[in-house]
């Protein structure tokens, strides 16, 4: 085993032992909207709060579908905002269209089997 592979193995082992989770292994909430859409603007501060409060528990991503039209097609967006809840393996678990309060996002995660209430 060369030095790079040894360091990589040691680094991965220490991450596993420390309980650190890879970002790609987290559930994910994607909000598909636009910067100029009124309900989307209302979602922006909630998404930022969730991103900070739930860091390391689930990922939050915003995609502006007016700027990235290919993403609207990829995720089959019919109206904005649309929130899609994904399992860590990328499986779509739930889809919501329109504004959704932060509390309802957390309740939906709980219904899906993820409890993020213990901050």
Q: How far is CA 5 from the centre of its chain?
A: 31
How does pLDDT run across 41-70, given as a tens digit for each residue? 999 999 999 999 999 999 999 999 999 999
Token duo for residue 99: 């504004």
Neighbours of 40 (CB within 10 A): 22
Antiparallel, parallel or unpaired: β 28-33 and 92-97: unpaired
Instruction: Name the least confident of 3-17, 48-62, 84-98.
Output: 3-17
Q: Which CATH superfamily is domain 22-111 in?
A: Glutaredoxin (3.40.30.10)
């Amino acid at each position: 085993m060369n030095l790079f592979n040894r360091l990589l193995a040691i680094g991965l082992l220490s991450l596993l032992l420390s309980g650190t989770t890879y970002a790609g292994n987290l559930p994910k909430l994607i909000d598909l909207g636009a910067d100029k859409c009124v309900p989307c603007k209302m979602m922006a501060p909630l998404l930022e709060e969730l991103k900070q409060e739930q860091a390391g528990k689930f990922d939050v991503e915003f995609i502006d579908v007016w700027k990235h039209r290919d993403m609207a097609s990829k995720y089959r967006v019919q109206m904005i905002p649309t929130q899609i809840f994904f399992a860590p393996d990328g499986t779509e678990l739930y889809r919501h269209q329109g504004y959704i309060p932060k509390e309802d996002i957390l309740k939906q995660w709980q219904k899906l089997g993820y409890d993020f209430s213990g901050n």
